[in-house]
Structure 1
Amino acid sequence: MEVKNKRDVPKIRFNIYRKKWKKKKFKDFTKLSQGLQIAISDRFTEDAETRHFYITNEFLNPNSRKIYYIESPSENVICTVDDILMTRTGNTGKVITNVSGAFHNNFFKVTYEKNDTAKLFLYYLLLSYDVQKEILIRAGNSTIPDLNHGDFYSIKTFIPIVEEQSAIGSLFRIVDDFLSSYKDNLANYQSFKATMLSKMFPKAGQTIPEIRLDGFEGEWENKTLSEVTNITMGQSPKSENYTDNPNDYILVQGNADIKDKRVVPRLWTTEVTKFAEIGDIILTVRAPVGDIGKTDYNVVIGRGVAAIKGNDFIFYTLEKMKMTGFWNKFSTGSTFESISSNDIKEAIIQIPTIEEQQAIGFYFSSLDQLITSYQEKITQLETLKKKLLQDMFI
Structure 2
Amino acid sequence: MTKNAPELRFKGFTDDWELRKLGEVSDIIAGGDIDSSILKETGAFPVIANAITDDGIVGYYDSKFRVIAPAVTVVGRGVGVGRAQVRYKSFTPVIRLLSVKAKKHDAKFLESIINEYKIIMESTGVPQLTVPQLKQYRLYLTSLAEETQIGNFFTCFDNILALHQRKLDLLNQLKQAYLQKMFPKNGEKVPEIRFADFDEKWEQRKLAGLADFSKGNGYTKNDLTEIGNPIILYGRLYTKYQTIINNVDSFAIEKDNSVISKGNEVIVPASGETSKDISRASVIGKPGIIIGGDLNIIRPKKFIDSVFLALTISNGTQQKEMTKRAQGKSVVHLHNSDLKQVNLLYPELEEQKQIGFFFKQFDNIVDIQQNLITQLNILKSAFLKKMFI
1:314 aligns with 2:309: yes
Q: Distance in 2 between matches of 1:273 and 1:140?
A: 44
Match of 2:97 among 107, 111, 127: 107
1:269 shift after superposition:
4.4
| 2:387 corresponds to | 392
Give the superposed CA RMSD: 3.3
1:354 shift after superposition:
2.2
Amino acid at match of 1:109: S
| 1:255 corresponds to | 235
Q: Distance in 2 between matches of 1:14 and 1:125?
A: 16
1:45 shift after superposition:
6.1
Q: Distance in 2 between matches of 1:242 and 1:108?
A: 41
Q: Deviations over 1:298-335 (max 9, x none)?
A: 23434411223343222222322588423022124677
Amino acid at match of 1:359: Q
| 2:53 corresponds to | 61
Amino acid at match of 2:135: Y
1:121 aligns with 2:112: no
193-202 or 158-167, larger mean C-alpha shift:
158-167
| 1:95 corresponds to | 84
Amino acid at match of 1:29: V
Q: Distance in 1 between matches of 2:237 and 2:191?
A: 33
- Which secondary structure state, in structure 2, belongs to the residue aligned with residue 120 of structure 1? helix
Q: Distance in 2 between matches of 1:36 and 1:305?
A: 49
102-111 or 313-322, larger mean C-alpha shift:
313-322
Cα separation, partners in 2 of 1:242 and 1:175, compared to 1, 3 Å: closer
Cα separation, partners in 2 of 1:257 and 1:184, compared to 1, 3 Å: closer
How do 1:37-56 residues align onto structure 2 when only pairs under 5 Å count? 37-38=33-34, 46=40, 53-56=46-49
- Which secondary structure state, in structure 1, belongs to the residue aligned with residue 58 of structure 2? coil
Q: Is the 8 A contact 1:257 1:265 kept in 2?
A: no
- Which secondary structure state, in structure 1, belongs to the residue aligned with residue 320 of structure 2? coil
| 2:302 corresponds to | none
Report the TM-score when normalising by structure 2.
Answer: 0.82
1:221 aligns with 2:236: no
Q: Distance in 2 between matches of 1:84 and 1:63?
A: 12
1:16 shift after superposition:
4.2
- Which secondary structure state, in structure 2, belongs to the residue aligned with residue 128 of structure 1? helix
- Which secondary structure state, in structure 2, belongs to the residue aligned with residue 203 of structure 1? coil
Q: Deviations over 1:124-181 (max 9, x none)?
A: 122222xx3xx32xx3333234434443333332222222212211111121111111
Match of 1:265 among 250, 267, 271: 250
- Which structure 2 residue ranges, 5 or more long, are not aligned? 300-304
Q: Is the 8 A contact 2:50 2:76 kept in 1?
A: no
Report the TM-score when normalising by structure 1.
Answer: 0.81
1:226 shift after superposition:
4.3
How do 1:207-218 residues align onto structure 2 when only pairs under 5 Å count? 207-218=189-200
Q: Is the 8 A contact 1:250 1:267 kept in 2?
A: yes
Matched residues, number: 372
191-200 or 381-390, larger mean C-alpha shift:
381-390
Q: Is the 8 A contact 1:224 1:345 kept in 2?
A: yes
Match of 1:232 among 214, 233, 244: 214
1:29 aligns with 2:33: no
| 1:276 corresponds to | 261
91-100 or 249-258, larger mean C-alpha shift:
249-258
Q: Distance in 1 between matches of 2:356 and 2:167?
A: 22
Cα separation, partners in 2 of 1:322 and 1:7, compared to 1, 3 Å: farther
Q: Distance in 1 between matches of 2:151 and 2:255?
A: 53
Cα separation, partners in 2 of 1:43 and 1:273, compared to 1, 3 Å: farther
